[in-house]
Structure 1
Amino acid sequence: MKKLYAALMTAFDESGNIDEQGTREMVRYNIDVNQIDGLYVGGSTGENFMLGTAEKKRVFEIAIDEAKGSNIDLIAQVGSPNLHEAKELAKYVTDLGYETISAVTPFYYNFNFEEIKHYYDEIVKDVDTKLVVYSIPALTGVSLSLDNFAKLFENEKIIGVKYTNADFYLLERLRDRFPDKLILSGFDEMLLPALALDVDGAIGSTFNINAQKAKAEISAFEAGDIDKARKLQHESNDLITDLLNNGIYATLKLVLQELGVNAGYTREPMAKATPEVKAGAKKIYEKYFK
């Protein structure tokens, strides 16, 4: 069965400090209740790009410690426009016991492809872990072509891609050209078409609360029941629409609170949840989960 990964959230207290207990509770909820296949730690959903290096290390420590003995896959996202930090984090998580790392494409400075390739080669050069490229052009502004991926995959340590890209023509071409590479879909709202293009699984933020329905969709697809899979995707997309309209990160945490998980707050400059957002999150909980 194709694997489902939750993009782990980070709990913060009202002052913006990491809430260790809350973060542990989210790891446990994903393992014990969602029965997730894996966790993607330190990604966009974890508000990673607003954390300092020491804070990132602490999140990696919490996740692997709390997941100990659970037999789930853990992927540590170590990417950063600061290559020195990315390399430091790659070594750090390898020493912690992570077997797979990921790295977002370097962003902001309009790096050319040779600079991007150098970045990835450097991150994996001194570690034994395997790397999954994190491609999310809508947020980074970095689009990789089929030939770009081919050149990255020449490095045997680069085993695949977290593909958060709406270009499904490129996705089909990737799967056709690289049948043995790991391709994990990154858009929860497009899980079904990604499954149809033979991805190996999916990583997403809404799987923190919607994993059971997503897993049922994967099972229906693999059983050939496309009508059921389509119905489940429609229901998930109704939820995703409501989450997006209410402010997705704060709302995910508020729904988790309703589910008994101390998910904490978002970190500034993300806005604190207003009374209206809190009311909206409660309606979402009651509509979909009560």
Structure 2
Amino acid sequence: MKKLYSALMTAFNEDGSVNLDGVREMVRYNIDVNHIDGLYVGGSTGESFMLSTEEKKNIFKVAYEETAGKAHLIAQVGSLNLNEAKELAKYVTDLGYPMISAVTPFYYNFSFEQIKNYYNSILEGVDNKLIIYSIPALTGVALSLDQFAELFENPKIVGIKYTNADFYLLERVRNRFPDKLILSGFDEMLLPALALDVDGAIGSTFNLNAPRVKEEIAAFEAGDIKKARELQTLSNDYITDLLNNDLYPTIKLVFEKLGVHAGYCKEPMSKPTPEMEAGAQKIYEKYFKK
């Protein structure tokens, strides 16, 4: 069966400091309730691009300890600071993470040669496997088929977290690289990604919605496309409601209603408002209340 990864969130206290106990609770929920296949730690869902190196290390350590081998772990170590990315890659590898990931370097309109050097530099002296985190809508970096091929010349680069609405490119990548790991990154487009033979998916909404998504994957693999479509529609209704209520704070508010201390988001992300609280209550009652 194709693998499902939750993009792990970070719990913050109201003052913006990391709440490691809350991180532990979210890891446990994903393992004990969601029965998740894996966790993607340190990604954008974890608000990691607003964290210090030490905060990132603490989260990687807590996630590793709390998972205790019960789920596969991928550490997102990418950073505009290449030295930090290299330091984090070594740190998580020494901890025991079996795979790392790195977002394409963004903002400065880097050339492909610079991007290639970035990935190869992260992997120098690190005995680990890496998947490219490709998310063009947020980074402005849209890698081509031939550029993926050139990056794959490094044997340590084994796949892609593919968060891209270009499904023509996805088909071309899957066809050209049948042995590479491709994990879909758009929760709302999981079903068409499954049809293009991705190996699984990573997503923020799976923190709450994993059981329904695993049912969808099972239906797809059993050839019950009608049921899979119905489940994707239900998931997309849920995703729409989250987006309309402010995605990350709302997931954390619903977590709280499920007894998980997910805390706050880090500013400049939003603090909960009464309207947001009311919206989260409706989402909880509609999709998760037993």
> How high is the TM-score relative to the length of structure 2?
0.99
Find out whether 1:45 has 2:42 as its counterpart. Answer: no
Give 3-state SS (helix, strand or coil) of 2:182's partner: strand
AA aligned to 1:222 is: E
1:84-95, aligned counterparts within 5 Å? 84-95=83-94
- The whole-number CA distance in structure 1 between the counterparts of 2:286 and 2:10 is 25
- The whole-number CA distance in structure 2 between the counterparts of 1:195 and 1:259 is 30
- The whole-number CA distance in structure 2 between the counterparts of 1:170 and 1:220 is 25
Give 3-state SS (helix, strand or coil) of 2:13's partner: coil
Give 5+ residue unaligned stretches, structure 2.
none
Q: Which residue of 2 aligns with 1:282?
A: 281
Give 3-state SS (helix, strand or coil) of 2:63's partner: helix
In the TM superposition, structure 1's runs of 4+ consecutive aligned residues that sit over 2 Å from their partners are none
Q: Which residue of 1 aligns with 2:153?
A: 154
1:11-22, aligned counterparts within 5 Å? 11-22=11-22
**Offset, 1:254:** 0.4
Give 3-state SS (helix, strand or coil) of 2:74's partner: strand
Q: Which residue of 1 aligns with 2:164?
A: 165
- The whole-number CA distance in structure 1 between the counterparts of 2:224 and 2:51 is 43
State the Cα deviation string for residues 136-157 of structure 1 (Å, max 9, x = none): 0010011000000000000000
> How high is the TM-score relative to the length of structure 1?
0.99
**Offset, 1:69:** 3.8
Q: Which residue of 2 aligns with 1:192?
A: 191
**Offset, 1:37:** 0.1
**Number of equivalenced pairs:** 289
- The whole-number CA distance in structure 2 between the counterparts of 1:126 and 1:106 is 20
Q: Which residue of 2 aligns with 1:8?
A: 8
State the Cα deviation string for residues 162-202 of structure 1 (Å, max 9, x = none): 00000000000000000000000000000000000000000
Give 5+ residue unaligned stretches, structure 1.
none
CA RMSD of aligned residues (A): 0.5
Find out whether 1:220 has 2:216 as its counterpart. Answer: no
**Offset, 1:216:** 0.2
1:176-187, aligned counterparts within 5 Å? 176-187=175-186
Give 3-state SS (helix, strand or coil) of 2:183's partner: strand
1:105-254, aligned counterparts within 5 Å? 105-254=104-253
- The whole-number CA distance in structure 2 between the counterparts of 1:21 and 1:283 is 27
Q: Which residue of 1 aligns with 2:55?
A: 55
**Offset, 1:273:** 1.0
AA aligned to 1:78 is: V
- The whole-number CA distance in structure 1 between the counterparts of 2:178 and 2:223 is 21
- The whole-number CA distance in structure 1 between the counterparts of 2:98 and 2:184 is 20
The share of aligned pairs that are identical, in percent, is 75
**Offset, 1:245:** 0.4
State the Cα deviation string for residues 256-280 of structure 1 (Å, max 9, x = none): 1111111110001112011100110
Give 3-state SS (helix, strand or coil) of 1:62's partner: helix
AA aligned to 2:166 is: D
- The whole-number CA distance in structure 2 between the counterparts of 1:152 and 1:119 is 10
- The whole-number CA distance in structure 1 between the counterparts of 2:98 and 2:37 is 15
**Offset, 1:126:** 1.1
State the Cα deviation string for residues 13-40 of structure 1 (Å, max 9, x = none): 1111110111100000000000000000
- The whole-number CA distance in structure 2 between the counterparts of 1:267 and 1:6 is 19
- The whole-number CA distance in structure 2 between the counterparts of 1:151 and 1:157 is 12
Q: Which residue of 2 aligns with 1:260?
A: 259
AA aligned to 1:68 is: A
Q: Which residue of 2 aligns with 1:80?
A: 79
- The whole-number CA distance in structure 1 between the counterparts of 2:30 and 2:10 is 13
Give 3-state SS (helix, strand or coil) of 1:144's partner: coil
